[in-house]
Amino acid sequence: MSEALFRAARVHRLVAGNLLRDTGLYTGQELLMMQLWEHGEQRQADLIKTLGLDPSTVTKMLQRLEQSGFVTRKPSPDDRRAIVVGATRAGRALHDRVRQAWRELEEATAAGFTKAEFEQAMQVLARIEANLTAASSPAAGPVGTTNPTPAP
């Protein structure tokens, strides 16, 4: 199952990258931009928490987005230690194109699914996410120390 999940995620990311190519964004950057479009300016620390990414990954992502002219970063007026990130006019102009790319990605991902199959797939993916989240928590102990019984 893990190998199949890895392969599907890899192909999904490849298709997403192809759909985003015209926007000037790399896969993953659109998720950060969506947070800014939806919630406005935010502290970099809040973006890190919301996206669930390593701080160095978000910092590198923001540097690239800033160099591309899609975001600005500035010290918070309330806390000089905090960095506030906002979308620029050029960044906001990407909104419709990115949303369209995500619609096309969703259509390609779920092509041929019935409504019931789509709902079942969403439940299975949520369960996989919950299982892996629980397995990665410090309280779970080392990964691989339990012997889950695979479903038939």
Kindly state the average pLDDT of the residues 9-13.
94
Environment class of 47 (CB within 10 Å of its CB; exposed 0-12, middle 13-18, buried 19+): buried
Could you tell me the pLDDT band of residue 77, with boundaries at 50, 70 and 90? confident
- What pLDDT does 36 receive? 96
- What pLDDT does 147 receive? 44
Put simply, whether the predicted model's pTM sits higher than 0.85 gets the answer no
Domains, the chain, ordered by start: 2-136 (1.10.10.10)
Could you tell me the pLDDT band of residue 15, with boundaries at 50, 70 and 90? very high
- Answer yes or no: is pLDDT of 95 > 80: yes
